[in-house]
Amino acid sequence: MFAQAVLLAAGLLAPVMALAQSSAAPLVLEAKIPLGAVSGRIDHLGIDAKRQRLFVAELGNNTLGVVDVASGKVFRTITGFREPQGVAYVPFTDTVYVANGGDGSVRVLDGENLSPIGRIELGDDADNVRVDEPHHRVLVGYGSGALSVIDPTTRSKVGDIRLKGHPESFQIDKTGNQVFVNVPDAREITVVDLAAAGSQSLPTPGARANFPMAIDRNMHRVLVVFRRPPILMALSSQDRHVMAQTATCGDADDVFVDARRQRVYVSCGQGVVDVFAAEKAGYRRLARIPTVAGARTSLFVPELDRLFVAVRASSGEPAAIWVFRPAP
């Protein structure tokens, strides 16, 4: 089933004209928040919604930017990291976890004053961070193939979930019992059953470089975006079959579900954000919103009803967070 669905991709890749941003666009650029003297690649974003603090993993700068969303200004820039890649706020311990690809460490910061309060050594290429709220734990992808299980109470590693390759984006279902993991080096999606301590491999023949992933809980779908070819694919979260797929923008690194509007946002290094309407039969492109080449990481925050896009410094643009307001 997977192979048959991917074969359709060639017919879906016809060029789509970018839609000019207007008051009728589904995403409206509301603000640009300068990040200051930040150079190089910017990786993933995290949010402390209660304090309205946006965390920016400034990988190429070896810093963590902290943006005060309410004031639209940088609150603080924290130094001393080694290629920070993933960042997440953990509400039940009021802490911030920052995964570092350069030295394989996970640094833990106090949520209020952002002072360092812990360090967990994973060994190599610490990457994406996810919070398992049902079980009060933190999962971090790292190395040549594992998810580290961290107890945020003791701020220590308590186990590993082994994989066939380095994990890119992964998502935890609402029960905390299943984890869907993109493993592009193994050309598969791995479904980990935490309760049964087992896993299932879903090969991805004909499609490669599956990096972004999201779960649409209302429609019971797992959304996976591939870079080669650039397609958005929806799998049933119940029986894993391919439910829909469509062409999307190139060099995607993040995808999010706007449940309130039944939309999907895909941010791409191509320099656009693709906006799709989620429908029963599949996905209909609503708009292709221009950003800047290389701006492939983003974060949609339902509590603030905003999409934040990380823009790296270039000849035409300073490093900044672009703030998009969904409309209507």
How many Å separate Cα 272 from the centre of its chain? Answer: 16
Q: Residue 18 pLDDT more than 80?
A: no
Domain ranges of the chain: 23-209+248-326
Domain 23-209+248-326 sits in CATH 2.130.10.10: yes
Q: Residue 5 pLDDT more than 80?
A: no
State how far the Cα of 19 lies from the Cα of 92, in Å rounded to an integer: 42
**Average pLDDT in the chain:** 93
pLDDT confidence of residue 46: 98
Per-residue pLDDT tens for 27-50?
A: 999 999 999 999 999 999 999 999
Q: Which two tokens stand for residue 29?
A: 């650029």
Per-residue pLDDT tens for 100-125?
A: 999 999 999 999 999 999 999 999 99
pTM of the entire structure? Answer: 0.93
Q: Residue 1 pLDDT more than 80?
A: no
Nearest to 95 by CA among 123, 55, 135: 55
Per-residue pLDDT tens for 183-227?
A: 999 999 999 998 877 899 999 999 999 999 999 999 999 999 999
Nearest to 139 by CA among 75, 211, 192: 192
Confidence of residue 23 (pLDDT cuts 50, 70, 90): low
Confidence of residue 20 (pLDDT cuts 50, 70, 90): very low
Nearest to 322 by CA among 309, 304, 307: 309
Query: Residues of the chain with pLDDT > 70: what percent?
Result: 93
